[in-house]
Chains A and B, each alone.
Chain A
Amino acid sequence: MTVPLDSLDALAARVPDGAFVALPPDNSLCPVALVRALIRRGVRDLSVLGVPISGFATDLLIGAGCVASLTTSAVTLGEAGLAPRFTAAMKAGALHLTDATCPAVHTALQAAEKGVPFMPLRGMIGTDLLPQRPEWKVIDNPFADAPDPIVLIPALAPDLALIHAAMADRFGNVWVGRRRELATIAHAARATLVTAERIVEGNLMEDERLAPGVISSLYVSAVAVAERGAWPLGLLDLYGADAAHIDAYAKAARTDEGFRAYLAEHVLGPLPKAAE
């Protein structure tokens, strides 16, 4: 099976309205160029899963009206503070939010990648989170001698994992380096769409040193090139986050008008690169 090499807009067109999409956090190969393309294509009613938390990319999607529901363990812009469009949407009651806690998100995906219906996870008993999540069931550990309550987390299989890789080959293998938690998202999701900084010659899976950081083409449905595709977020050791830009966004997006102006300038308007 050949993995197609799409344009960025063609890749975005593969995300249907209403899809259940998993996004990595801001510090781990978040596909921001693809998110901008999704906003330009006018995607609607996404259910977004933050693995395990959400940040800049999800805030853009929320502000642009693309998100119907969000499951995540936190939404934050890190040192730049609160995520303004998330905060505004919560205040307006415009977003259906399901709170989680980071390891529960990972555990739900780990169950999905194993093809089992649930996995147990420690903690959470006595929190106000647990009663908010009736699908998380407490059982008595059947292997313990004494009573030992433990939480079961049902498996969660997103329709699509969306990630930005440092490189891809022409076979559809993509390299995420030490960010191998991305593989868990890809394994758990029904399909994975990838943007990559660049296409390399040869086969990444045949390079013994690179293969451990590869998500194989088995999981990948399509790839598009997006140079600086994580911007304004950082990407591994290739480039750092553009803190000044994120700060400016955090201030501008506090108001609806400020956010609209940001979208017009940086997402909908004159494109910074021919590639986008």
Chain B
Amino acid sequence: MTVAREELLIAAIADLIAAPHPHPARHAAVGAASPIPAHAVMLARHRGLDVRLSLLQQRVGNPFTEGARELFDLAGQGRIDLFFLGGVQIDGQANINLIGTGQPAGSSARLPGNFGSAFMAFTVPRVILFREEHSPRVLVPKVDYVSAPGVSPPGVFRRGSPQALVTGRCVFTFDAPRARFVLASLHPGETRESVREATGFDYDEPDAVPETRGPSESDRAALAGPIRAALEDTYPQFCARVFGARAA
């Protein structure tokens, strides 16, 4: 059985969630339209990590009794350890743009908006950036609009910086003190050259760059079984696409 691209990304993010980090991921929250990160948190749990997932969009049994307001209050207090952000553009300093490209930003095509990014990037100690499209138009030298900055000057309150950026081609970790990405692993089929060519910003490349570790058979069984069952009500279209139609 071939591993679906989504399964590979889920496994890669699950590895990052479990990676040693000064801020252990005890409580992860997932916002709107993030099925791959949500599945990754559930997979990390399945592999034994003691992490709680709060799913903002969950309709039945929603984890909050004060909706999104409670999510942001929790984050403000530092009670959410891990969150996921993406962007129409992401630059080499881990700045993200959720508004759109052009000058003024959004003039070429207007995207939905900032959501909570301008707050979560500061209050949540661990952020994993995720964007499937890996091309020079997404990974740019400098974003046209900063929805959330990757780093901040000393004296500006923030609990952490992005831990990593996961794309459809590779995993970059983020070196916050230097505000630079480091190529950490290549997805199957990619090379150092193919990634360099598809990336609009400069980054570091260590001597050894392994292949991204995909999901194990146990991971895949869990994803198609209990994890799907837990997330299907929230992400019906994603689950049907990746794991196939439900047997009648």
A interface list, Cβ under 8 A from B: 25, 27-28, 52-53, 72-76, 78-79, 82-83, 86-87, 90-91, 99-104, 106, 110, 121-130, 146-150, 178-182, 184, 234, 236-237, 240-241, 243
Contact = CB atoms under 8 A, between A and B. Distances in A.
A27 B233 CA distance: 13
Given A78-B32, A99-B99, A237-B59, A121 B156 contact: no
Contact of A74 (B66, B114, B238): B114
Interface residues of B, number: 52
Interface in B9-38: 32-33
Given A79-B235, A104-B119, A126 B156 contact: yes
B62 interface: yes
A150 B157 contact: yes
12 contacts: A25-B68, A52-B69, A53-B32, A79-B238, A82-B111, A82-B112, A101-B116, A103-B69, A121-B76, A127-B118, A128-B105, A180-B65
B93 to A, nearest CB: 11
A27 B118 contact: no
Given A79-B33, A106-B68, A73 B146 contact: no
B68 A181 contact: yes
- Secondary structure call for the A interface: loop
Contacts of B156: 125-126, 149
A148 B157 contact: yes
Contacts of B113: 53, 72-76, 99-100
B185 interface: no
Interface stretch (B147-155, B170-178, B191-199): B147-155
A103 B76 contact: yes
Interface of B: 32-33, 57, 59-62, 64-70, 72, 75-76, 98-99, 105-106, 109-123, 145-149, 152-153, 155-158, 233, 235-238
Among A102, A178, A241, residue most surrounded by chain B Cβ atoms (within 10 Å)? A102
Given A126-B152, A127-B146, A101 B110 contact: no
A229 B153 CA distance: 48
A91 B110 contact: yes
A150 B99 CA distance: 23
Given A74-B112, A103-B69, A125-B122, 19 more contacts: A25-B68, A74-B113, A79-B33, A79-B236, A83-B112, A99-B99, A100-B113, A101-B115, A101-B116, A101-B119, A122-B119, A123-B158, A124-B119, A126-B149, A149-B157, A181-B66, A184-B66, A236-B59, A240-B233
